Amino acid sequence: MESATKYDPSAVEGKWYQYWLEHGLFKSVPDGREPYTIVIPPPNVTGVLHMGHMLNNTIQDILVRRARMLGKNACWVPGTDHASIATEAKVVAKLASEGIDKSDLTREEFLEHAWDWTRKHGGIILEQLKKLGASCDWNRTCFTMDEKRSQSVQKVFVDLYNKGKIYRGVRMVNWDPKALTALSDEEVIHREQQGKLYYLRYKIDGEDGYAVVATTRPETIMGDTAMCINPNDPKNAHLHGKKVIVPLVNRIIPVIEDDYVDVEFGTGCLKVTPAHDVNDYMLGEKYNLPSIDIFNDDGTISEAGEIYVGMDRFDVREQIVEDLAAAGLLEKEEAYTNKVGFSERTDVPIEPKLSMQWFLKMEEIARPALAAVMDDTIKFYPAKFKNTYRHWMENIKDWCISRQLWWGHRIPAYYLPGGGYVVAETGEAALQLAREKSGNPDLTPADLSQDEDCLDTWFSSWLWPISVFDGINNPDNEDIKYYYPTNDLVTAPEIIFFWVARMIMSGFEYRHKPCFYNVYFTGIVRDKLGRKMSKSLGNSPDPIRLMDKYGADGVRMGMLLSSPAGNDLPFDEALCEQGRHFNNKIWNALRLVKGWAVADGLPQPDSARVAIAWFDARLSAAIEQIDGEMEKYRISEALMTVYKLFWDEFSSWYLEMVKPVYRQPADAVTYGATLAFFEKLTLLLHPFMPFITEEVWQSISERKPGESIMTMRMPEAGNKDTRLVADFEVVKQIVAGVRSVRLERNLPNREALTLHVVSGEHHPGYNAVILKMCNLENIARAEKDAVAATFMVGTAEYAVPLGGAINIGEETGKMEQEIRYLEGFLRSVMNKLGNGKFVANAKPEIVANERKKQADTESKIKTLRESIAKLRSK
């Protein structure tokens, strides 16, 4: 076989990916086989590949390729998410760079720009996934705002509204002053901030004294409508039934009493601002307090604030502290650490704000979704995330599903000219409902105005496992009945609430089944210093550059080498280098084997016959281990098992045992068995390293057009001869012992030696392998020659006669050193066996193992002392 001396991924990977596409090898249609389905976590439509995507999609591809090779009808559905907030922000920024303000555009004009942006930048990430080797059925590519997915969202909204599960109302929401939209609780990241606690003086109405309030937000006093004290707080008893005056604003507000107030915080007096604090809002509802919204949507002070109108909230904080101090109304300031909520998308502090929004009631639809995870109908890997999930689901709040954006699924609610609204999937259906509701048959489409808001992006992606198969619009279609429920979901734990929990809910709501059975949580990709990779730190390598440098297979392997489920991945580019080395190891092994001349009539050597029997048993044991690891989603461990099987057992041992003597041909039986083993190894490796395994598999023997390793069946465990495998571990130690003697004595490999079995058990059935691997003339039982280099394998002693090539002093010195080590080891064993508690409480097999260690060590010490005596008698 003529092949390149060095493996070149750039000459291989693009070639085979195109081959797979041309022959439709990723395509899946329902048939009689068992389906295996994964839906991709849809990346942002305008995003580009980062290291998190690389890890996530590598794992998905491994699962899909393996399922295909297990004979299943594997379907991996790709797609992208419209990402309302992120995409709208990018379009607004792009327009601003061109001198265009969003507020100067109509909704339709803005959406034209957004669609242009999406068409220009959308789909780049999917093309990049192809370079990684992702075996998605690209014919099934979906977009959360394509026609079918949009229809699905509208249909679900209307259905849940008609069931009474969606409602509209004024509630305290998380407001993002930069994105100008409400956020769900899950979109708020709480971070500790070093701030200040300001002690403000509120004059008691009609008296000379003051009530002092401690607050972190003096800029909100313009919205104060009450002061609250704890009725059981003696230090504030003088405020019972009083009124106080808000500093600077001079508004008179009542002092109310409630057990909610923490008497230990600050002074025990709480300013109540119902429009700008969740807890204050609840107090306001309880005591029927007025609510004054002092903020505009962009975080500046509104006219209702009366003072500082138009100023930014944080500028006001600085100014009002100065003004309070000047007025003698600031008692003191203290350093204070508190948790502040930040927008997950724009990274600005959120503002609690009363706002008219749409909500989805969650308590009822969460119930079956919680049960399914807790009873392991849906399994989490690792299982530690079950507790995180349970805590959130048991404390779930209604989901704020409306967003004040234009890019997204517009809420299908239509307002009537005389007040009220109707909810319908289309304008035509809304008009019919509006005519019925109003009793006015003359209403026209122009009389109705559709809600301006869009739905939360997650309101489309929570339907993803169903909507990609059009199971909302056509609940009985062939695809949804065949592919649903899906099998596995691979995702990041940080979106367990945003996405995973909500998909499980939608699955039970609309299919009365789980949407998947297994969830594999990846870790966070970090740099060598343990920092999360990010653009701002500049510590995130470009995945495309990595693949260009190391090949996709090398990068895939590099990422998996240190990525157990749920644990963070300390990524080091050196791991990709290790992956590239492994590629070269595979390639060089192929070149070696295919370079052998083969003679048909040549008899098979005993060494090759024994080696083949051993590797067949070793391969079966490894297959069983890999199957077990994959069943437990221990994907990195499974890769390491195949890696060691190929590198250590196949390349370092098996090929050395069977390769023909220099310039001599191999026999046909051994050659055929070796190619068969090589093929099975490539099959085991294929899900992890698809490109090189296809190249090698195609090279092992002639293939028909359209044939691919992808569609071959995964090898099954056969002869698991555990005794043979264990015996070979002893053979390896014998070979290592002889090689150590050569190394220590500077004996050239070409010089044939003799090996004596001095004492202990030895299996002559493996002599042919030992003779070949060690270049020995013969192996025989013999009395120990005093002038010989000895070594122990277990309790058996071996000797390599050296003639005059031995330094007696040196040799006895080594043996005495070994005796000192063994005596120390024996003392530790005897200490255990001399411990009555250990012997009484340890399992019998553990005690028996310690006694065996004692006997073996005593035997070795005895043998070594005899050897020293014989040498010294020379």
Query: Mean per-residue pLDDT for 414-432?
Result: 95
pLDDT digits (tens, 9 = 90+) for 502-552: 999 999 999 999 999 999 999 888 888 888 877 667 788 899 999 999 999
Q: What angle separates helix 363-374 from helix 502-510, to the nearest 10 degrees? A: 100
Residue 804 predicted with pLDDT over 70: no
Two tokens, residue 374: 């807790």
pTM of this structure: 0.84
Question: Residue 119 contacts by C-beta under 8 Å, 6 or more apart in sequence?
Answer: none
The percentage of residues in the chain with a pLDDT greater than 70, rounded to a whole number, is 98
Contact status, residue 728 vs residue 766, Cβ threshold 8 Å: yes
Name residue, tokens 């100014």: 319
For the chain, how long is the longest CA-to-CA vector? 123
Query: Mean per-residue pLDDT for 427-434?
Result: 96
Better-scored residue on pLDDT, 227 or 493: 227
Contact status, residue 758 vs residue 788, Cβ threshold 8 Å: no
Distance, in Å, from the CA atom of 63 to the CA atom of 36, rounded to the nearest integer, reads 9
User: What SS3 state is found at 545?
Assistant: helix
Torsion, Cα of 92, 95, 99, 104 (10° steps)? -70
Query: Letter for the amino acid at 751?
Result: E
What is the rounded average pLDDT for all residues in the chain?
A: 93
Query: Mean per-residue pLDDT for 475-502?
Result: 95
Question: Residue 306 contacts by C-beta under 8 Å, 6 or more apart in sequence?
Answer: 222, 249
Residue 600: Cβ-neighbour burial (10 angstroms; 0-12, 13-18, 19+):
exposed
Q: What is the pLDDT of residue 874?
A: 62
- The DSSP line for 149-217 is HHHHHHHHHHHHHHTT-EEEEEEEEEEETTTTEEE-GGGEEEEEEEEEEEEEEEEETTSS-EEEEEES-
Using 50, 70 and 90 to split pLDDT, how confident is the model at 308? very high
Question: Residue 101 contacts by C-beta under 8 Å, 6 or more apart in sequence?
Answer: 95
Using 50, 70 and 90 to split pLDDT, how confident is the model at 583? very high
**Closest alpha carbon to 535 in 48, 94, 183:** 48
Using 50, 70 and 90 to split pLDDT, how confident is the model at 776? very high
Two tokens, residue 85: 């907030």
Contact status, residue 502 vs residue 462, Cβ threshold 8 Å: yes
User: What SS3 state is found at 782?
Assistant: coil
382 preceded by cis ω (within 30°)? Answer: yes
**Closest alpha carbon to 226 in 258, 196, 198, 199:** 258
Distance, in Å, from the CA atom of 868 to the CA atom of 808, rounded to the nearest integer, reads 9
Q: What is the pLDDT of residue 570?
A: 82
- The DSSP line for 520-534 is EEP--EE-TTSPBP-
The CA-CA-CA angle for residues 347, 350, 355, to 5°, reads 140
Residue 1 predicted with pLDDT over 50: no
Two tokens, residue 595: 């370079």
φ and ψ at residue 220, rounded to 5 degrees = -100, 5
pLDDT digits (tens, 9 = 90+) for 189-227: 999 999 999 999 999 999 999 999 999 999 999 999 999
**Closest alpha carbon to 739 in 767, 715, 713, 774:** 774
Two tokens, residue 523: 């870790």
φ and ψ at residue 788, rounded to 5 degrees = -150, 150
pLDDT digits (tens, 9 = 90+) for 734-759: 999 999 999 888 888 889 999 999 99
257: β partners: 229
Contact status, residue 191 vs residue 339, Cβ threshold 8 Å: yes
pLDDT digits (tens, 9 = 90+) for 346-359: 899 999 988 899 99
Q: What is the pLDDT of residue 566?
A: 57
Two tokens, residue 318: 């600085």
- The separation between CA 197 and the C-alpha centre of its own chain, rounded to angstroms, equals 40
Distance, in Å, from the CA atom of 449 to the CA atom of 447, rounded to the nearest integer, reads 7
Which has the minimum average pLDDT: 398-402, 546-550, 594-598, 783-787?
Answer: 783-787
349: β partners: 342
Contact status, residue 361 vs residue 509, Cβ threshold 8 Å: no
Q: What is the pLDDT of residue 564?
A: 63
Two tokens, residue 441: 């048959």
Distance, in Å, from the CA atom of 459 to the CA atom of 338, rounded to the nearest integer, reads 32
Question: Residue 700 contacts by C-beta under 8 Å, 6 or more apart in sequence?
Answer: 590, 594, 675, 678, 679, 682
Distance, in Å, from the CA atom of 396 to the CA atom of 185, rounded to the nearest integer, reads 10
Q: What is the pLDDT of residue 714?
A: 98
Q: Within 447-533, where are the H helices?
A: 458-461, 464-467, 478-483, 502-510
Two tokens, residue 165: 């599960």
Distance, in Å, from the CA atom of 338 to the CA atom of 196, rounded to the nearest integer, reads 9
Distance, in Å, from the CA atom of 272 to the CA atom of 266, rounded to the nearest integer, reads 14
Distance, in Å, from the CA atom of 37 to the CA atom of 481, rounded to the nearest integer, reads 12
Query: Mean per-residue pLDDT for 65-94?
Result: 94
Q: Within 468-605, where are the H helices?
A: 478-483, 502-510, 543-550, 552-560, 573-594
Other CB atoms within 10 Å distance of the CB of residue 712? 16
